[in-house]
Structure formats: C-alpha cells, structure tokens
Amino acid sequence: MLQQREQRMPRRSLLFLCVAIGLAVAPLAAKVPFWACALLLAAAFGRLLAEKWLGRWSILLLGVGLFAAGIGTAMVRYHTLVGLEPGTVLMLVLLSLKFLEAKSTRDFRVLVLLGYFLALTTLFFSQDFIVCIYIGGVFAVLTGALVHLQLAGWGEAENKLWPATRLSLLLLAQATPVVILLFLFFPRFNFGFQINNHLFDMTGMSDEMKPGGIESVVTSTKVAFRADFPDEETPPTGNLYWRGVVLWNSDGLNWTRGYAAGWKPEPLGGKTVRQRITLEPHGRKWLFALDRPTVPLPHDAQMVSGDALESRKPVNTALHYEVVSRTESREATLPPLIRATALRTQEVSPRARQLALSWRTAAASDREVVDQALRYFHKEHFLYTLAPGGYSGDSLDEFLFRRRTGFCEHYAGAFATLMRVAGIPSRVVLGYLGGNAGYGGYVIVPESDAHAWAEVWLPGHGWLRVDPTIVVAPERVNVGLESYLESAAATSSLLGATTGAVGGFMRMRDVLRDIRLAWDGVNYQWDLRVMGYDEEAQHNFFTVTGLGNPGTMRLILRTFLWIGIALTLLASWMNFRARKPADKVRALYDKFCRRAASAGVQREQWEGPLDFRERVLQRFPGRAAEVENIFRMYIRLRYGADEGNGKLVGDFSRAVRGFYPL
C-alpha cells in the first residue's frame, strides 16, 4: 500500500505543479524561442491530462526525437550550445522530457527542484525589482505544490489548495531571516562570471560614428545609466556632458576610434564633481563619467587615449562605480605625436577645404577660427532633425553646401574635420547629454540622450569642448532631447485644439511621467542597495556597523553561527507555540486532580481520565453534571479533534476554577 502511494502523483498536486511551471516559464517567452516554452507547457499539461503513462519504449523514442529536434533547432538558431539562450533552450527541452517520463512522487520532487532552477534562470536576463518579486511568488507556488504533495500523501487536504498555499507562505516567511543573514554576512566573491556579450541587444553606443548611427540609438527607450551626486546638487542639464568614447580618425562625416600614440593622461583643474553611477550592461568596455574623469579611477578601470574611461572587461552585468571629474584642462603643450594624429584627415573636397582655409585666412587666432565656423552653422540656416535621411558619396559636401540637415553627429563630425583642415587639432567625443531628474535626487540617462560633440586644442587653454549643435538647436542642449522632442511634438499635434484639450493632454502626460519616474526610483534603489551589494558595499556595511574586517573564514563561521542562533530561536518559538495549548490543558487538569485529592480522591499515576472520572463521581454524586462536563472537555482537548481550540480551553479553565470540593 505504501509503495503504491509512493508511485502515485495526485492529480491536484500535479495541477499545482503545472501552474507553477507555467508561471516560471512565462518571463522566458520573450527571451528564448517561443516553441521551447510551448513544448514545456505542452509536456506538463499533457502529462496532467494523460489517463495512462506512455510505455517505456514510447517514452524513449519520443524523448530521443524531442531531444534531437531541440538540439538541432538550437544549433541552427545559435550555432552553439554554449551560452545563456542556447543553454536555456536546452534546459526547457530536458525539462519537457522529464515531465513525459514522470511517474512517482520522487519524480514530482525532482520536477519541483528543476522548477526552482528554471525560475532563477529569468534573473540572468533581468534583475529588476518587479522581476524579483515575481520570482518570489513563483517560489511560493512551487513550494505550495510540494507541500500539497506531502499533505496528499498523508491523506490530508488532497482536494484543497489553500492549506498547502498557506503553509508554503509560512515556510518562506520562516526562511526569510536566514536569507537576510546570508545576504548581509556571507562573504562576497568575484568569480569573474561573464555572460556572452552576443546575447545582449546591442542598441547602445558604438565605437565609430557614421551618419545615422546615433540616430538609431536615440529612438531606443532603454536606460543607459543612472547617476547621483553625493556632494552637491545635480548640475543643470546643459552641463551634463557624459564622456564615453573618443574618436581620432577622421574621414569627412565618418569617424572611428583609432589610437593617439604617445598619449598620457591630461592634467585637469577646476572644481571636482563626484558621481556614483549605475551602468546598465552593454557588452562593451567603455564607461561614462562627466566631462572629464580623473583620478582616482573606479575599481578595475583604466584611462585610455582622450581621457576616456574603460573597464578592463566587458560590462555584461549592471556595474556600480564611483568616479571624480574636473571641468578645466590644464594642458600647456600638445605632444607632437598627438598633434599629428589630431590633424590627420582623409581626402577633403576642394570646396570644403576652401571654406576652412577662408576662416583661417580671416582669423587672427585659432579661437576666431572656431567662432567663424560656429557662425557659419548659425547663419546658413542649418536644420537639426532626427531624420535627415541617408548621405552617400561625398557626404561632407552634401551636408555643408546642399542639404544642411542633420543630427548632432553630422555637426560634430563636420566641425571637427573642418578644424583639422584649418590647422586646429580636433577630435570627436561620443557620449550622452543631459538626463531626466528621478525621484531621490538622481539622474536617469536614457539611450535616447546619446550625443556627439567636438573638442579642439587651443594654445593656453588645452582641449576645449565645442558643441556645434548648440548654435543650431540650443533647446536640445539646455533642456535635453526628450523635453525638446516632446515640446515639438506637443506643439505640432495640438495646433487647433481647444485650451481644455491641451490642458488635459499636458496633465495626463505629467501624471504618466510621474508614475514612470516613481517606479524607476524604486528600481534604482533596488539596484543600488540590493543588487549592488558587492564586496565593497559589504565592507562598508561592516565598517558602519562596527564589525570591522573579520576576514573570509571568520566571516563564514560568524555567518553560520548567527544562522544557527536564528534557527534555534525559531525552533524554540515554534515548539513553545505548539506546546502551549496542550501544556495549559494539562496544567488545568492537574489543578483539578489536586482539588479532588484534597477531598480524598487521589489519582493514581496509571489511572486514565475515564477511570478517574468514575471515582470522582462516586465521591461527588450531587455534582455529577459539573464533573462530567470537566472530564468531557478535557478528553476533547487532550485526545479529540478540538486540540488547540481556544474557546474550549477557556471554558475548561473556568470550569476547573469553579470546582471547589466541599
């Protein structure tokens, strides 16, 4: 009989498990091919609906077929089985096979454990606050399925789901203190785990600039990074130039990264600005900081040519770092090798060369050449737009003399190239401009704020930032791209609308923005306080709490000691809570026995309540109803189904207190 029960998976428990697996696989449907998720759900619910198990050979043939099909499809799509997405597909296929061959309760428990792992797989793709809360809920449902299986095996609550769900939530609540202790005190190690960067959706910045390149980035809705300023108020939007990649090689409007031989970090001065940045994964090495970063550098970062920050390994997970920037260049001389690199150009058309040389001829200094170039962009009716269309052939001439329509990349590339033709060292910087104020004093920098600007080297000043976009579309620099576009869109779409309609639209837009910013603030604090709790943050926590630096082994021992204490206290509390009603009933019964003994009726140690009741009734025949009531309540509380019944315990206590032998 026990063996048969062990081999049977209750249908309600299996339904519980199928729902849990469905919840676990749901977030993966947007990350891996849909057929893999559908295969798992079909296998799970097919196993639930099947009246009979498939035969051994049928399972073997079906399993081999599904496994071969899954492997083949993954190879065709990914060309490898190594990596996050191919590995997830393979796991879904294997889990489907396990569902098909599952028979016993042991198989059920294995499926629950695999369900836990499947739920955790989602965290490889996203660790947002709402995702983590969702995964916690999936854990509760999986644990509920396991509890339901156990209760069904005991013959309890087989057709009821709430008792299992309630017990599952209680178990998770009891485990929470242990989880918190492990999170805070268990040593943090950097194992160098990396996710293949080809798995990321590379919509972020590139290390080259071509017409239309940044245009494709600014249509993205993703967040590039978030930053706060612990020592001061957030600077104005127009001052938030976030330096990323420096481009040295010029070919008209096309610029590439290259390398400046003989480069050394440039001396900087001016006010220091400290930033704490949470960078979203982008699969490349560059880091971002306000113009311009200086020492001390973030951990595991280096400075590369052009005063740009770069990580020593690809940023494949959210990265938290602190950086200091200074605003003034103090470079007195430009080394010859750097000057040669910053003046090198490809073939430039005679018309563009004549334009640049005319500025040089009419100017008395390099600064005047820069000013004349900016006046040219301002007076010749250039237009700033996100959709300038494609450029081909001699794109520099087409932009400067015919179409005069472009985005920041067109203006920065054209300006820097013309400066080189005029004999002024220049380079292009790719990064971000501006950011949106989030709740809590931090700045959200979306990918749509991608920007390009130029830098020129002037004697006595060093490298100076020149943003030609500001003379064409000053609102883009002063209020940020998002506000600039929203203002333009609102103006064009609301022409002719009534004042009430305009006001309603603006109010709705503000409400939606407030909701989005509030939710982003929750995610930011989650990333900063929880997901960003690394080795350095743990060390700071120990310092603030007075624990110092206990060392790895001592920290491990201390962690398990605290966990042992917590578990002991929890077990003691649970034991006390479980025994308290029964102990109270026993104490009341002993009190009744002592009162009966005072009247000459002594209970023997071997004597049960039924035998003792007969002797008490003989001694107090006139109080038979009262005695019968006391013994009846005691038997119900001690041996019957009313154990722990608070109301009955109270009635029993009043009855015992009211019994006084005459």
Give which of 15, 412, 374, 61 is closest to 211, Cα–Cα: 412
**Side chain identity, residue 62:** L
Contact 307, 464 (CB under 8 A): no
Q: Say which residues have a Cβ less than 8 Å from residue 173's Cβ, sequence separation at least 6.
A: none
Structure tokens that stand for 510 in this block: 């503000």
How far is residue 457's CA from residue 45's CA, in Å, rounded to a whole number? 69
Structure tokens that stand for 87 in this block: 């590995």
How far is residue 578's CA from residue 536's CA, in Å, rounded to a whole number? 43
Q: Which of 18, 37, 408, 593 is catalytic?
A: 408
Distances (CA, A) of 478 to 24, 237, 327, 474, 475: 46, 6, 18, 6, 5
The b/e string for 537-576 (b: 16+ C-beta within 10 A; e otherwise) is: ebeeebeeeeeeeeeeeebeebbeebbeeeeeeeeeeeee
Q: For residue 291, indicate whether it is catalytic.
A: no
How far is residue 326's CA from residue 292's CA, in Å, rounded to a whole number? 6
**Side chain identity, residue 383:** L
Taking phi first (over 0 means left), then psi (-120 to 50 degrees means alpha), and beta for anything else, what does residue 312 get? Answer: alpha
The string of DSSP codes covering 184-209 is HHSPP--------GGGS---S--SEE
Q: For residue 408, indicate whether it is catalytic.
A: yes
Cα separation of the two ends of the chain: 57
Q: 3-class DSSP state for residue 226?
A: strand
Give bridge partners of residue 303 from the DSSP assignment: 309
Give which of 570, 213, 227, 579 is closest to 407, Cα–Cα: 213
Q: Say which residues have a Cβ less than 8 Å from residue 506's Cβ, sequence separation at least 6.
A: 490
Q: Which of 307, 366, 449, 467 is catalytic?
A: 467
The string of DSSP codes covering 406-471 is E-HHHHHHHHHHHHHHTT--EEEEEEEE--EEPTTSEEEEEGGGEEEEEEEEETTTEEEEE-THHH
How far is residue 571's CA from residue 581's CA, in Å, rounded to a whole number? 17
Give which of 609, 590, 612 is closest to 601, Cα–Cα: 612
How far is residue 151's CA from residue 397's CA, in Å, rounded to a whole number? 79
Q: For residue 128, indicate whether it is catalytic.
A: no
Contact 434, 424 (CB under 8 A): no
Q: Which of 451, 520, 527, 593 is catalytic?
A: 451
Structure tokens that stand for 482 in this block: 């998002």
Structure tokens that stand for 143 in this block: 């644990």
**Catalytic positions, please?**
408, 451, 467
